[in-house]
Structure 1
């Protein structure tokens, strides 16, 4: 179990540390995030981290406020995220939010972290943990489907853990793929736009879109891991039935997937087939089988990220 760093308890009158987006990013090293999420997955499975289903409340015209708490013996967190799709027309970010971190023993607020930055980085770290756990080797080539903000976080995470890995990128069209690679090479030099044919050397496919129709539905193939990240509503679907029916299925949060994993819901998968991330980490997998990992998220991963930030804060002061 993580222990609370000195900054949280050394001075009861200490001010709350407020971290903007830049500082939040500085505190959340991807390698540390992957390890922290692995620990949190075991604790969530054991019941020492409590992470209830998120609350969704209408906000304004077409927006929602998302409330996501999680608690552990050392810290508690509460992530509040506001999603306003109409902000695209206002030329404003669609997502705003913050993560409040407190000491579990005293309830004292320790710090505030930027919600979108923490979410983006810990989501990419979950993907990298899935690769480490289910592929069990460093990938040689990854196909990244999607060119939005989450795609950029994934490129950063891949560069942190697998700097020599080639990343093929497929966007809505050739121009989107090319533009993303041109701008993204400052984050990871081995980026190339993908043509319509699936590169034969790809051993991991990561989908980070908001598509309502499958963007990947290839026959399952041993040695190729498929990771679905973007579809987070029942009406969304990135992965098709052909792929899912031929693969062993895992989810970071199987309970949440029953409500949010549109890919699985549309394919009418047998939920008894879906293993948890914690089970995979315990080694209860056959790596010779094709595998699909569905990432839906849970506040437990935000708590894991908060632990990393707290461990880094004393060094940053």
Structure 2
């Protein structure tokens, strides 16, 4: 029996191209064999959080084991660390070990890409990215490769981080520049991704009527990126969407706006509905099913190759 395949960060990224990963996520949402129990969340003694996130379908079983330590930048370490362990669900063989932060970044951006494909009134941009960290970079790459976006505007509390992401966008052949006022930039950008630390509302202006917003940074009920008035405005004039029903108790932006989140359609619901009219606010909180979709994409080339 062959040992499990080990994928470092670069190899994990190469195995998960954004358009193919978005397709894999859509396929997973239509698969009745997928089972995703509630994740286990444990506080760490120094203030971080440890997550254990299992999922399975008829062919593949996974567990993502990651830690999240918000202030790790002060230590010269990434905020998210860990791995995704991939098994053959039929015979229990370990197939692969994937880099956890890379899977998290790419599957989160691919979920937003699928949501934009499904819900966005227009997908040509310009794209405004608020927050120039790991998720800002992943979403830039995903929307460029999956939607063909060519114009990007980047806003960040750190000018250096914004300029670094602008430079990366230009290396990809995009027309990119830094903006200092994200609220003002909303008037020019029908595509918006917010990927901030989400400790307080960063965006207060109303979006365009043809806007698609992917709100990524807030993944607990106490976090938010968007002012409550903005969320209520979009709910009244357009449409809301959440990634899964787990958002019912995690979608801080919507919960703090006083909205009835359990009645908000999920991405799976919207895949079976016509594209809505007006602005769209998509809340992307995270789910182990997205990690399973990534593992399925990798495992497709491994199952049957190990004896």
Inter-partner Cα distance in structure 2 for 1:174 and 1:307 = 38
CA displacement 1:199-221 (0-9 Å, x = unmatched) = 53311111001122222233354
Match of 1:5? Answer: none
Q: Secondary structure at the match of 2:265?
A: strand
1:308 Cα deviation after fit: 1.2
CA distance in 2 between counterparts of 1:301 and 1:205 reads: 21
**Other-structure match for 1:266:** 256
20, 32, 47: which one aligns with 2:8: 20
Question: Structure 1's 102 and 207: CA in aligned 2 closer, same or farther, altered over 3 A?
Answer: same
**Aligned pair partner of 2:279 in 275, 281, 290:** 290
Pair 148,188 (structure 1): closer, same or farther in 2 beyond 3 Å: farther
**In 1, distance between residues paired with 2:139 and 2:75?**
27
CA distance, structure 1, for counterparts of residue 204 and residue 26 of structure 2? 29
Does residue 154 of the first structure (1) align with residue 134 of the second (2)?
A: no
Q: Are residues 1:233 and 2:220 paired?
A: yes
Secondary structure of 1:140's aligned partner: coil
1:311 maps onto 2:296 in alignment:
no
1:185 aligned partner: 170
Counterpart residue number, 2:201: 214
Scaled by the length of structure 1, the TM-score of the pair is 0.87
Following the alignment from structure 2 to structure 1, what is the Cα–Cα distance between the partners of residues 136 and 295? Answer: 22
Aligned mates of 1:86, 1:221 — CA distance in 2:
34
Q: Which residue of 2 aligns with 1:36?
A: 24
Helix, strand or coil: the match of 1:275? coil
Tell me by how many angstroms 1:141 deviates: 1.1
Q: Are the aligned partners of 2:51 and 2:67 in contact in 1 as well (CA < 8 Å)?
A: yes
Q: CA deviation at 1:184?
A: 3.8
Alpha-carbon distance change, 188 to 240 in structure 1, aligned in 2, over 3 angstroms: farther
Alignment coverage as a number of residue pairs: 299
Deviation at 1:181, TM superposition (A): 1.1
- Offset at 1:183? 4.1
Return the alpha-carbon distance in structure 1 between the equivalents of residues 186 and 261 of structure 2.
31
Look up the match of 2:240.
Answer: 249
**CA–CA distance in structure 2, aligned partners of residues 87 and 225 of structure 1:** 31
Between the aligned partners of 1:99 and 1:42, the Cα distance in structure 2 is 22
* Unmatched runs of 5 consecutive residues or more in structure 1: 1-12
CA shift at 1:174, angstroms? Answer: 4.6
**CA separation of 1:86 and 1:136: change in aligned 2, threshold 3 A:** closer
- Name the CA distance, whole Å, in 1 between partners of 2:293 and 2:10: 19
Query: What is the CA distance between 1:164 and its match in structure 2?
Result: 4.3
CA contact 1:249–1:273 (8 Å) conserved in 2: no
Aligned Cα RMSD in Å? 2.2
Aligned partner of residue 291 in structure 2, secondary structure:
helix
Is 1:158–1:165's contact at 8 Å kept on the other side of the alignment? no
Give the drift of 1:185. Answer: 2.2
Note the C-alpha offset of 1:65.
1.4
How far apart are residue 190 of structure 1 and its match? 2.1
Q: In 1, are the aligned partners of 2:55 and 2:292 still within 8 Å (CA)?
A: yes
Following superposition of structure 1 onto structure 2, how do residues 47-66 of structure 1 map, counting pairs within 5 Å?
A: 48-66=33-51
Q: Is the 8 A contact 2:247 2:261 kept in 1?
A: no
